């Protein structure tokens, strides 16, 4: 939670003009999720912010020069469908179709980066109409931490990560989420399909691997996990790039890296359940599916080794058979938008059978 105390809230500076209210970055009325660096700039797909206000009629987002040109974001009004809006440096009037019309009604606006690249928004302030009444966003008690590669970043989908299975799963459960997923990334800390680092390194940084090609910010800074809303569940789906013929990381080597990674994650998340996905594979037109890391499975071995250490709060999610040729783009075998919805439905069913059920309502209702 990039949040603040109620004392800070009471002392927060909100510039009131006759016709508008300007809420600056860092104000508790802007609830930030995901990862933001020391320049108030977002990184990683799915990063964004929420704003809650009564009598809301209009919203303008002010962005600085470090903003991607453009940065595509999804905007959801009152938990409705996500609409794509392209933002650029300067003032951006954001369409808010679907607002509650009553002055006493609460409106919830959610903004999230869609892209795994060109996803930097340097947030300076948000301006709303002067007779609006901003309120503090209350996050859901369920907060997923997702870790992965292109298969979790919504690569090739129309709305990027917003179409991805993990984002859809969080929506299904009326949950918060943080998504550290980067196309082409290996778990192993090697240069992989243009990513200078692997997830075993990059996950612990504020910046995603796109930093390397960013002339304005070509460095990483360690992420301060105290800024996060504490995760309640950790979900990892990774290994496709390690196993590729291009890099061909052996099963023992991959397992060793995964064990070290999970050990480091346990320091951050000592009591949270970990859900480890097996590969759903690469479907082919003839109906077969090419699986990787199967004999022996480092995913199964990881669970067994953690159990042997006394860690029984780690669970294997067997995704065999979840994805078929009909669920992927034929040119790259990545899930289509519909394929991601199918995967989210499969995982949602798995979670309910495990014992996690969707929230009956959002913690901050739009009423």
* Per-residue pLDDT tens digits for 336-351: 999 999 999 999 999 9
In Å, how far are 40, 73, 159, 221, 341 from 164, measured between CA atoms?
Answer: 26, 14, 9, 27, 8
The whole-number pLDDT of residue 216 equals 86
Average pLDDT over residues 92-118: 95
Composition of the chain by helix, strand, coil, percent to 5: 25, 30, 50
Give the mean pLDDT of 124-129. 98
| pLDDT band at residue 18 using 50, 70 and 90 as cut-offs | low
* Cβ neighbours of residue 222 closer than 8 Å, sequence gap 6 or more: 204, 205, 206
Domain residue ranges in the chain? 6-135, 143-354
| Cβ-based neighbours of 292, under 8 Å, separated by 6 or more | 239, 240, 243, 279, 281, 282
What tens digit of pLDDT does each residue of 55-97 get? 999 999 999 999 999 999 999 999 999 999 999 999 999 999 9
Q: What is the pTM of this model?
A: 0.94
- Which residues share a beta bridge with 110? 50, 76
Phi, psi (deg, nearest 5) at residue 268: -80, -35
pLDDT exceeds cutoff 50 at 251? yes
CA distances for 157 relative to 114, 221, 261, 281, 324, angstroms: 10, 29, 29, 18, 17
- pLDDT value, residue 108: 98
Taking the C-alpha atoms of residue 256 and residue 241, their distance in angstroms, rounded to an integer, is 16
Chain-centre distance of CA 211, in angstroms?
A: 17
Superfamily of chain region 6-135:
Galactose-binding domain-like (2.60.120.260)
Average pLDDT over residues 205-215: 93
| Nearest-10 crossing angle of helices 298-308, 251-268 | 50
Structure tokens at 198: 């692997």
* Cα 347 from chain centroid (whole Å): 16
**8 A C-beta contact, residue 22 and residue 14:** yes
Percentage of the chain exceeding pLDDT 70: 95
How far apart are alpha carbons 226 and 8 in whole angstroms?
A: 17
Mean of pLDDT over the chain: 94
* Residue of 192, 193, 218 lying closest to 207 (CA atoms): 218
β partners of residue 61: 92, 126
- ∠ CA 280-284-289, nearest 5°, is 35
117-121 average pLDDT score: 93
CB 234 within 8 A of CB 265: yes
Q: Is the pLDDT of residue 10 over 70?
A: no
Q: What CA–CA distance (Å, rounded) separates 44 from 147?
A: 11
Domain 143-354 is found in CATH 3.40.50.1110: yes
Question: Quick check: 38 pLDDT over 50?
Answer: yes
């Amino acid at each position: 939670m990039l949040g603040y105390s109620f004392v800070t809230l009471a002392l927060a500076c909100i510039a009131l003009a006759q016709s508008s209210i300007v809420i600056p970055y860092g104000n508790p009325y802007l609830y930030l999720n995901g990862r933001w660096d020391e320049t108030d700039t977002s990184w990683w797909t799915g990063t964004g912010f929420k704003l809650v206000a009564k009598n809301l009629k209009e919203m303008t987002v002010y962005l600085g020069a470090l903003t991607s040109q453009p940065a595509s974001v999804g905007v959801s009004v009152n938990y409705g469908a996500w609409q794509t809006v392209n933002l650029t440096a300067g003032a951006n009037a954001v369409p808010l179709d679907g607002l509650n019309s009553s002055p006493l009604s609460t409106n919830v606006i959610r903004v999230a980066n869609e892209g795994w690249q060109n996803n930097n928004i340097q947030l300076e302030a948000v301006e709303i109409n002067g007779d609006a009444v901003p309120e503090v966003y209350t996050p859901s008690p369920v907060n997923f931490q997702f870790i992965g590669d292109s298969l979790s970043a919504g690569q090739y989908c129309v709305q990027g990560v917003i179409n991805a299975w993990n984002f859809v799963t969080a929506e299904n459960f009326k949950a918060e989420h943080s998504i550290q997923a980067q196309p082409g990334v290996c778990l192993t800390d090697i240069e992989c399909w243009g990513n200078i680092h692997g997830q075993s390194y990059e996950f612990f940084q504020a910046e995603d691997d796109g930093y390397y090609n960013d002339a304005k910010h070509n460095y990483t800074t360690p992420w301060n996990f105290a800024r996060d809303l504490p995760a309640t569940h950790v979900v990892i789906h990774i290994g496709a790039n390690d196993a590729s013929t291009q890099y061909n990381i052996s099963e023992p080597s991959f397992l060793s890296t995964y064990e070290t990674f999970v050990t480091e994650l346990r320091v951050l998340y000592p009591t949270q359940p970990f859900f480890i996905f097996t590969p759903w594979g690469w479907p082919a037109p003839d109906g077969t599916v090419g699986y990787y890391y199967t004999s022996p499975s480092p995913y199964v071995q990881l669970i067994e080794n953690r159990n042997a250490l006394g860690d029984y709060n780690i669970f294997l999610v067997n995704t065999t058979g979840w994805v078929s040729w009909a669920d992927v783009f034929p040119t790259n075998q990545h899930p289509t938008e519909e394929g991601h919805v199918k995967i989210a439905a499969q995982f949602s069913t798995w979670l309910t059978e495990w014992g996690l059920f969707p929230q009956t309502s959002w913690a901050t209702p739009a009423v």
